[in-house]
Structure formats: C-alpha cells, structure tokens
Amino acid sequence: MKKIFIITLTAAIRLTAGAWTVVPHNDGTTALDFADIAKGHPTPFAIERAEGKWSHYTKIGETREARFTDTDKVKPTGAYYRIVDAKGVVIDTISFDRQLFGDKIIVFSPTDNMDSVAATAAMIDRRLFGHEMDADRYALVFKPGDYREAGLINVPFYIHIAGLGSTPYEVEVSNIHTPPHLREGNGTCTFWRSAENLSVVGPETYDEPETFKWAVSQAAPMRRVYSNRTLRTQWGNGWVSGGYAADCRFDAPAGSDHQQQWYYRNSILNKGRGNFREEKYNYCFQGVEFGPEADMATYRNNWDEGGNVTVIETTPLIAEKPFLCLGDDGRYKVFRPAFRSEAKGVSYALGNPGKGEYLDLLDTFEVVKPGATSAEMNAALAAGKNLLITPGMFTLDEPLRITRPGTVVLGIGWATLIPGENNSEGAIVIDDVDNVAVASLLFDAHYSSDTLLKVGKEKTSVSHEGAPVLLSDLFFRIGGFRPNPVHVDRAVEINSNNVVGDHFWIWRADHGVRGSVGWAVNTAPNGLVVNGDDVTVYGLFNEHFQEYQTLWNGERGRMYFYQCETPYDSPTQAHYMSENGTRPGYAAYKVSDGVKNHFAAALGIYDVLVNEIRIENSIEVPDAEGVNVYHACNNSLSNGGKRGFGFVINGLGKSTYDTFRDNRVVVNNYREGK
C-alpha cells in the first residue's frame, strides 16, 4: 500500500510515496529520491524528463546517488522522470501524477505518442471487457489537448474516461464506443462506466463505425460531453435499457431506434434525434435546449396520444456534479459547480466553466488510495478535509461520517465502498448539515447492513433550503458480486430536508456470480426511502426490491424520470403481498397515505416475473389535491398470462396482468384521469 501524507512546508509541499518520491518545491525545483527502486542497479543513473509518460524523453542530468534535483522550473503535473541505470536499463518512470493518484488513474498528456495512448486504452479494454463482476477499476484522464490521432477508445466495465480541462472543449478525442459483451448487440447489462468533460470530434454520419456509440443501460452516466459526431445510444439493433446524459451539448443528431428509455437533463440537442425513431417506452427531456434543426414535432408532451415523450422546460433546482481538473496554475483542482434554479441548457460555455468554485486538491482534499481504512478516512474528514477516493474497492469497518457543512466526497474510476462484516450501519452516514456533495461512488453490499447510504440520522425540521445536500451518480448493488447471503433494509435512506439526488441506480441484483442471487439470498425490502421534506430526485433507476422499491414519506417531494423493474424471483403470490397481506404485490413507487403534496413525472415501470404474480398497482399515491403523477407507463417484459400489474396507479389504467408481452399501458395525468 502506498500512502500519501500531505504536509505544507515553507519551502515545499512534500508527498511521500514509499518506494520513491517526487517533491515539488515552492521555488519551482523538483527533488527526486529513488533509493529503494535503485538498489542493485549500476551507477551513474541518467535522469530523463518528458511532459507525459508516453512523451519524448530528454536527458537532463546524471547522478551517482539515488536522488536528483531538477532545477528547471517545470509544473509538477507536467513532468515525468525516467530513471536509467549505467547499463541503459529503465528502472522506472516516476512522476508527481503517479505519486498523487497511484497507478489506477492513468494520466495522458497531449505530447504523448498517440499510438501509446491507444495501446494503453486497448490493453485496459481487453482486461475488463465483459468482466461484469470484477474488482479492477481505472480512470483514464486527459490533460487539455488534442488526442484524436489515438483513434477510437472503447470504454468497458469500471472505466471512467474524462478530460482535465475546465470545460469539455479543452480535450478532444476521436471517438468512444461501449461494445456489449452479450450476443447480438444486447446492451442490457452494459453497466458501470462513465464519460465526462471532453469532446468527441469527428464526422457527422450515421455510418458505422463512425457514430459515437454510448450504447448503455443503467449506471453509465455521460456528463459535460460535447460531440459533433452522431451519438447512437444503441448497438446494432440490440436491446438496451439506459440511460442518462446531463450537461451535454450534441451538435449532431443524438438518439436511437429502440432504447427502452433515456433521460436528458440540461443539455443541448442542436439537431434533435435526427433519423432515429426512438420507439420504445419513456424518453424525458428536462431543461433541454433544442436547436433550429431539431424536429420539434417530436419533442412535445404526447402521452395523451399514446406517445412516449415528456418535455419539462426547466430543472427546478440542480448543481452539476463536481469533477477533477487542472487549474491555470498547473495544480489539480476539483471544480464544484454552483446550484442553478429553473435551469435550462448546459452550465458552461466555451472558455467559461460556469458559476462554481475551484477547490485546490492538495490544500483541501485527502487523496484516498486502495488500502486506506475507514478510520483513516474519518480522521481526514474530522480534520476538515474533503475526500477524493481513487479507483479500488474499500471495505469499511465503520461508515464514513460526514459531519462538516460543505464537505465534498468524490469518487473517481468507480471507487467502491463496501460496509464490512461487522459494520451494520452502512458505508456513508451524513449528519443533518448544509451543502454536502457526495458523488461518483459505487456502494456494494458484501455483508448485511441497515443501509448503504444514510442522509441525516433521523427526520428533523431543519431546513437546508439555501444550501442543499447534493448526491450525484451514486450506484448501489445488493448481491451479484460475492457468493454469500446478504441483507440490507434500505439501500438509501434520506432523512434530511432539501436534498437533491441526481442519478441513482439502486439494484437488488437479478444476476451475478453463482450463489449471490436468490429470493432468500440477497434480501432487501426497499431501494430508496425518503423521509425528508422538499427532496428532489432526477434520474432514479431502482429495481428488483422485495417490498416497496421506492417509499416516499416526506412532503413536497419531486421525482423526475423513473425506471423500475419488478423483482423477477418472488416464488409465489403469498410471498409478495402488501397491506398486511391483503393486497397483491407491492407498488414499485409508493407515496405514503398521509402525504399532502408530491409530484412525479416520466415513470416507466415494467413487470419481469418468472412466476404467476399479480401486483395490484405499479404506483400508489394518496388521494390529495397536491399529489400528482404525470406520464406513467407499464410494460410487460414477462411472458404474458397470469402475471403483471393490475393497474398503473391506484386502480387507474388497466394494465399488463393477463395480457401479452410488450404491452405498454399509459396514464397521462393522474389528477385528470381519476
């Protein structure tokens, strides 16, 4: 394990990496110490320097000791040093980047040999392609520059690809694909990957393989991406059940023919969907700007005609996800975008990152690498640090406790938090405090716990209206990875008020490694429970839980875009009865009876049932004037017959029970239809 200790000195910021160190001093010089790795190698050592790991190296000096000071004033994030012994053997390549982040965040420079960039990305693709349940993770990050000559980059499981500029325009790649590992283009299990803060630049064409193919399903966010290539969210004519894109600008057509559903939030679609038909169940466009070439006849609320499009003009309250970048001073930062009200379009412009704040990584964050313990992370949090959690799986003996207002906990490269065997509380517990941001993390239940994430220890009357908690790109997995029984009561519990959730996939696994999945194996009643008031959630994917999948108890809740599948595996109707055994099945979306004000829009809820099970209602809400559900559909993905939903919502909209497969049933507006 390599640990990083950050100490601010008068003359230097020193980071210790174990086998070697790269110490950038305040006077611009850089001290190298490589005694441990140099043992047994003949002297003198030649020191070579380049701007990137795969760039051209130039000899800058020699030393007979295993230390050297680079007296040229170079930015620490722009120098890689190759240590060569007297026989010409390259001992290692060391850098501030490697020391800071470890070897699972791979930093590319625009001066790198583009064949080497392509080969490195291809090597990682071969390593992780098809490895749905794997412990390995990487982030591929690109310093500002042009990488188009590196060609197509495939993004497999557990890869985060991102630019390090302040806007997406500062990093250009040629193309990105997400090939499915299942046969015949089936992308229904194309999960756990992400793209952020870069441009995909190439010809605008529908011809394959020239399209930008982000053909994904759940837990595969695309954020802050610019593209002038045609974006296709489907692979061939295969199945897909995604997806999510936010803060993106698409100057070429963007869409698919058969994506099951898709949610665009605060993006720009200059040419709309182009020639794509988008025929399936649930497409939602919220806070989206459409260009003059978009066919606006296809972007209107049309569920009352049996259509599948929801257009919501603005996003009432949102802040975009924090992200890692390089500042003008050459230091790593985390940019934290500001909250926007009634937001439309993207949060940035060419040369302008938008409103927000830069947080210096070394000054304000603890960089957490594999092997770090929950005690060490909690000590950093208690000392006032934010956390940047790097790629890896972290088993926590106690939850991470966020007690300080303004704290940022940001994962990168699919950092994964696992409550340990004796930790029944969960992975993260946030106190009832202002302005916390938790983002880009996978929560994995290998053992039993009450929750995986808890926001506020209990319901209070404390308002956070002026400084909400933000939860972005958080994904929860119960079962699937580890062959043992596991139980979680509520994957996510929100007790605080004024919380904003932006993109969750909460998944009780329906498949995985042998012995990890079964009605009595990975047990969990609820995916999301909301007790707080004035909670808003955008892009909620929540599947296969054994009771109410979403249970909303708080007032004035708002939910925009929902995707849900029933649990496949209830053995009999007797195993799946709500209301003290009097009502068949559990609603997938339940608003508690006493709630007086709630709004939900663009809900796609699908029955996938192996056995003959009736679920009376897919949605249940109280009959109050302030409660409405707008655009809700059911579809049967079962094999038809005596299984499925009796009604879409509260006895309204005769649904999929005792009908046929792929039968879509719609309720346009609950208040008007009841």
- Are β-strands 80-84 and 90-95 bridged in parallel, bridged antiparallel, or unpaired? antiparallel
Q: What burial class does residue 305 get, using C-beta atoms within 10 Å of its C-beta: 0-12 exposed, 13-18 middle, 19+ buried? A: exposed
Per DSSP, what are the bridge partners of residue 487? 523
- DSSP secondary structure string, 587-656? -SEEE-TT--EEEEEEEEEEE--SS--EEEEEEE----TEEEEEEEEEEE-S-SBS-EEEEEETTEEE-S
- Between CA 175 and CA 189 the distance in angstroms is 22
Backbone angles phi, psi at 484, to 5 degrees: -160, 155
Strand ranges (DSSP E) for 174-250?
Answer: 175-177, 193-200, 212-213, 222-227, 231-232, 244-246, 249-250
- Report which residue type is found at 203: P
Beta-carbon count within 10 A of 561 CB:
29
- DSSP secondary structure string, 378-417? HHHHHTT-EEEEPSSEEEESS-EEE-STT-EEEE-SS-EE
Please give the helix or strand (H or E) that residue 123 lies within, else none: helix 114-128
Query: What is the three-class DSSP state of 38?
Result: helix
- Between CA 84 and CA 65 the distance in angstroms is 13
- Between CA 380 and CA 630 the distance in angstroms is 44
539, 561 contact by CB (below 8 A): yes
Give 662's DSSP letter: T
Active site members: 565
Per DSSP, what are the bridge partners of residue 269? 250, 290
CA angle, residues 55, 170, 291, in degrees to nearest 5: 145
288, 254 contact by CB (below 8 A): no
- Between CA 196 and CA 164 the distance in angstroms is 9
SS3 content of the chain, % helix, strand, coil (to 5): 10, 45, 50
Query: What is the three-class DSSP state of 157?
Result: coil
